[in-house]
Each structure stands twice: as structure tokens, then as C-alpha cells.
Structure 1
Amino acid sequence: MFMSEKKELKVKSIKNGTVIDHIKQNRAANILNMLNLPDDETPVMVAINVESSNMGKKDIIKIEGRELSADEVDKLVLLAPQASVNIIRNYEIVSKHNLQLTDEVIDVVKCSNPNCISNSNEPIQDKFYVQSKEPVLLRCHYCERTMDFEDIESQF
């Protein structure tokens, strides 16, 4: 009689940094690009298409030695609105935030319409209304152009 062993892949814990979890499958590369990672200094661990009890499949990113800035989180919520961001210090989760896409997005992305007044030299803020959170669809406050994930992601 043979005993079956369950093998599990373990990913090293990080001492200090950020874990981005619950990313929609196959979106980790878009997020790494937005964060300008990988670079020559920052250790990054990425898991793509891993099993998730509530998402089916998901991606996970662990970034050693770096906490995301407010601007990066503002962009991240457009690329992965259902993600959670965990800040790790001394191997412990010190804060966990489930991202929330608000009803308006201000000064995070630019309108994809080159003729929009927001793309002129006028002193106005880039402003969008969220038409849909999944999938993310934004509507420009000024010209009413709708932007989808590809339009948004291409700016990062």
C-alpha cells in the first residue's frame, strides 16, 4: 500500500515590502510594468494563474523592500480593482487594504481622445466617471469618451 504525499509549492516570505493579492488572472505583468518592475535592485516574486477559492484563478505579486506610493495605488486600482494590498514589516502584515474603485477618478490617467480639452494646455484636472467596475470602464468628464482596460493600461 502506497501513501500519497501532497506536495505544495511554498513561496518565501518577505521581511519588508508589499504583497498584492487577488489580482485578476494574467494581469500581473501589466501591474509590474506600471510599477517599473523588475529592476536591478528590487526582489520580486510573481505567481500567475494560481488557484483561488473565491476567484477561480488569480495572480499574486510580492515586492521586497518597497511599499507602494499613493500614486501607484491610484493606478493599481484601475488595473486590479478587486486586489488587496498588504504592507509587510518584519515578516508581519501591518496593514491590509482591499482596493476600492471610487465613482470618480481624478488626475490618474489622461483621456485617450487627443482632441479632448483635458489634453490641451488648459489648467484643468483629468477627470473620469466610473461607468463599470468590472470590467473597468471610465467616461471622460469633458468629452464623454469611454476608456476600457486596454486604453488605461497603455498609459502605464
Structure 2
Amino acid sequence: MKKPFELRVKPIKNGTVIDHITANRALNVLNILGLPDGRSKVTVAMNMDSSQLGSKDIVKIENRELESSEVDQIALIAPRATINIIRDYKIVEKAKVRLLDEVRGILRCPNPNCITNSDEGVENRFYVISKEPVMLRCYYCERLIESEEIESQF
């Protein structure tokens, strides 16, 4: 028996679609992007079927393209996400997020004794130890930070 065609999410004319977000992390993506902001139309789909991930989230934002710093933050909580730029209902650019080897100025070190948590004005800096699951090491105090701690900061 043929399965009927079902469109669950309306296409957008212009904007950004963030696909392949790790399941149940779409709300963290919204926090990173400062959404909802009262201006942007946003569609969120959670726990959708995915052949690659088993389950995934999707975020669609009309009339907005992401800054590279926002994409860097999304990579920390959704390392398999893809960013699709939509113009006139067509995908004009598609890219996977890329977690850099070093993360600066995005997260805070959870070690209260780390120099970055003092009044010294030292920028946070982490080395990426593992990209999946994401694990970071503080450049200064060498504290390991796992994906759950990273997610809690968004």
C-alpha cells in the first residue's frame, strides 16, 4: 500500500533552515539565535524521523541568514547539523556545520577557580578533544567539559 504524501512543515521563501540538529536540542538552537524575537517567523520540528540520526530536530527561520559566530555555537551542540540558505523557495547554499579545533569566547569554564572566571578579563579558550560526542579542554585550567555541560550554557 502506497503511503500518502504528507507535508509536515511549510516551505519558506527566504531564510535559513537548520537541519539534522541533534534530537531535543532545537530549543538550545533558538536560545543561541535569540529566538523568538517578536520579528522572525520560526518553525520548529522536533523528534522527526532521520535516516542518518534516527531522530532529529529542524529549525526554519524566515528572512534571516546566520552569522558565522552563530553557526560556530550551533556546532557545539549539534555537530551534524546542516545549514541551508533559502532564496525564492530554493536551496542556494548548503553546508555542514564545522566544529573548529579551538573554541574562543563562546563558553565559560565551569571551574570556578579558572583564571577566566576572575576579574582578569581573560577570554575563554578551549581545545576540542572530541567532535562526537563533543568534549572540550580548557586552555588554562585543563578542565574537561562534556556535551551536557556545553548544552547547559545555552
**Same fold, TM-score > 0.5, yes or no:** yes
Residues 24-63 of structure 1, C-alpha deviations (whole Å, 9 max, x = no match): 1111111112222123221111111111112111111101
Aligned to 1:106: 104
Residues 90-117 of structure 1, C-alpha deviations (whole Å, 9 max, x = no match): 2222211101112211222121112111
Contact 2:72 2:97 in 1 (8 A): no
Matches of 1:4 and 1:116 in 2, distance apart? 60
| TM-score, reference length from structure 1 | 0.89
Count of aligned residue pairs for this structure pair: 154
Matches of 1:125 and 1:70 in 2, distance apart? 19
Q: Which protein is bigger by CA-based radius of gyration?
A: 1
Aligned to 1:23: 21
Residues 59-81 of structure 1, C-alpha deviations (whole Å, 9 max, x = no match): 11101111111221111110111
Aligned to 2:85: 87
Q: Which runs of 4+ in 1 moved over 4 A?
A: none
Matches of 1:113 and 1:133 in 2, distance apart? 21
Matches of 2:3 and 2:96 in 1, distance apart? 35
Matches of 1:10 and 1:51 in 2, distance apart? 12
Identity of aligned residues (%): 58
Q: Which runs of 5+ in 1 are unaligned?
A: none
Matches of 1:19 and 1:37 in 2, distance apart? 14
* Pairwise CA RMSD: 1.7
